[in-house]
Structure 1
Amino acid sequence: MLNPKIGQYLKSSYPADIVDALISAYSEVLRNYRIERWKPSELDAGHFVEAARRIVEHEIFGTTTPLAKAMGSFSPAVLSKYESATGDEAFRILIPRVLFSIYCIRNKRGVGHISSISPNKMDATFILSATKWVLAELVRTVTASNPDDAHALTDAILERELDLIWDDGESFVIMDNKLKAEQKVLVTLYKRDRYSIDEIQSLIGYKNRTRFKSIVERLRSDNLIDIVQESICKISPLGIREAERIIENT
């Protein structure tokens, strides 16, 4: 579930119905990826591309195609039209090229049409990463005046997707019950950094607060995490390596 601030910021700059369509499509891409439904995940990316193209057009042309009207195919000529416009190169070049790559995979790799290549995790992972980047870039531009929100919201979008963790916005479950509490803390912070001590304790279901604080302090003394602003935990480069070792061995 996306932070509501993302939609609020985007709607301050772009038509609300287009923002809602963008967020809905992104949420479906993410949801289907998490439950390993590769074809629906990649199909929903087509809707994401259509909504994001409308935002690009709104930004560089000042007007865009209404949702009720079809946009037509995303061709190299359309890409060239965007690139030859004036304005921020993120909207003229970078975002359109990423969207075009999503569009091509969605249309030419057995998703939208029959192909020798069936929908698969490799393509779905690329599409998910690309949609995350586009959404984060859009959020970065509309939160430029608020660096704290920009950092927090883009980090939340770009958090890692781990098979070890079931996190659908309502449930957060570390699927391997054999992991020790220290290991659960590290993989939780590896997925999304900067949780508070209380948040981590709740997420991993550790009951004894006193013992849990001792676990966190031990991780800190081993340079696997740091604690800032009194209670916010950050995973260190050493902690990242240890979390990746844990993930590889589960």
Structure 2
Amino acid sequence: MGKLAAEGILTTAFPKEIVTHMLQAYDEVAHNYRLEKWKTSELDAGHFVESVRRLIEQQLFGQFTPFSTAMGSFNQGVLNKYEGAQSGGDEFRILIPRVLYAMYCIRNKRGVGHIGIISPNKLDASFILNSAKWVLAELVRLAGGNAPDEASRLVDQILERQVDLIWDDGESFMVLNSKLRAPQKVLLVLYKQDRLGIESLREKIQYSNKSAFKKIVQSLQRSKHIDITIDGLCKLSPLGVAEAEAIIEGH
């Protein structure tokens, strides 16, 4: 529901074509980051940057470069053009473009899009993911008049994947395939919505025995399919993501 809410807010203010490309690119960045594919995650950021650049063009100049047409280089001249626009707030003229430009430079000058001295790494990929999240949250805030914290919450929910084996209509939550074992259900739930507490996980898969369920979670941690943070939240490892995707493909 969170993804639909964020998408609905964005499309009230911005062209749907741009919003669709932008959310897809953001999801790809986040997905490959979760798999620890640093280079792929950083490369996907290029699609996100180009999508948001088109949104900026639409906001400042009333039209945008078609997706069928390649955009020119992103350089200081482009930043100057945005800043010198006669209409549009500082967010579109200055703040968002400079964040995008930093993302673009990381992608192009740190061994991602081209050979460089520094290979793709977690620190650079983390910067890109969080920068993309900030841009997206800012756009949600501007489009819907949301407070920054609420906009950030909506963006977090975009990362919830659509899993056909799970029924989640915002009111009910249920793993529909009763033949799946409890550990498989745990991986599916975390694949859809990562970072959940053990009790929340137990309730979502409707497992009645608390002590037995705790052993299941601990077993998944030992097998390195999940990890448990210091504040007690369960999160999928790259191995867990791969296993969850195998379960989905097999059913």
Q: Name the TM-score, length of structure 2 as normaliser.
A: 0.65
- CA shift at 1:155, angstroms? 1.2
* Structure 2 residue aligned with 1:132: 133
Contact 1:173 1:203 in 2 (8 A): no
Show CA shifts across 1:154-175 (max 9, x none).
314258x9xxxxx75643449x
Q: Distance in 1 between matches of 2:135 and 2:32?
A: 18
Kindly report the root-mean-square deviation, in angstroms, between the aligned alpha carbons of the 2 structures: 3.3
Compared with structure 1, are the counterparts of its residues 46 and 199 closer, same or farther at alpha carbon in structure 2 (3 Å cutoff)?
Answer: same
* Structure 1 residue aligned with 2:100: 99
Q: Percent of pairs identical after alignment?
A: 48
Q: Name the TM-score, length of structure 1 as normaliser.
A: 0.65
Contact 1:46 1:106 in 2 (8 A): yes
Q: Distance in 2 between matches of 1:83 and 1:60?
A: 9
Matches within 5 A, 1:24-173: 24-85=24-85, 86-144=87-145, 152-158=150-156, 170=163, 171-173=188-190
Where 1:243 maps in the other structure, the secondary structure is coil
* Structure 2 residue aligned with 1:188: 196
Contact 2:83 2:94 in 1 (8 A): yes
In structure 1, runs of 5+ residues without a counterpart are 162-166, 175-186, 190-197, 210-241
Higher relative contact order, structure no. (Cα contacts within 8 Å, ≥ 6 residues apart) = 2
* Structure 1 residue aligned with 2:14: 14
Contact 1:38 1:124 in 2 (8 A): yes
Q: Distance in 2 between matches of 1:82 and 1:3?
A: 29
- CA shift at 1:120, angstroms? 0.5
Q: Residue 39 of structure 1 aligns to which amino acid in structure 2? A: K
Compared with structure 1, are the counterparts of its residues 65 and 110 closer, same or farther at alpha carbon in structure 2 (3 Å cutoff)?
Answer: same
Contact 1:133 1:158 in 2 (8 A): no
Q: Residue 67 of structure 1 aligns to which amino acid in structure 2? A: F
Show CA shifts across 1:55-74 (max 9, x none).
11111111111111111110
* Structure 1 residue aligned with 2:231: 243
Compared with structure 1, are the counterparts of its residues 75 and 2 closer, same or farther at alpha carbon in structure 2 (3 Å cutoff)?
Answer: farther
Contact 2:5 2:154 in 1 (8 A): no
Compared with structure 1, are the counterparts of its residues 9 and 156 closer, same or farther at alpha carbon in structure 2 (3 Å cutoff)?
Answer: closer
Q: Distance in 2 between matches of 1:173 and 1:205?
A: 14
Compared with structure 1, are the counterparts of its residues 84 and 121 closer, same or farther at alpha carbon in structure 2 (3 Å cutoff)?
Answer: same
- CA shift at 1:100, angstroms? 0.3
Q: Residue 154 of structure 1 aligns to which amino acid in structure 2? A: S
Where 1:12 maps in the other structure, the secondary structure is helix
- State the number of aligned residues: 189
* Structure 2 residue aligned with 1:192: none
- CA shift at 1:201, angstroms? 5.1
- CA shift at 1:202, angstroms? 2.7
Q: Distance in 1 between matches of 2:64 and 2:205?
A: 45
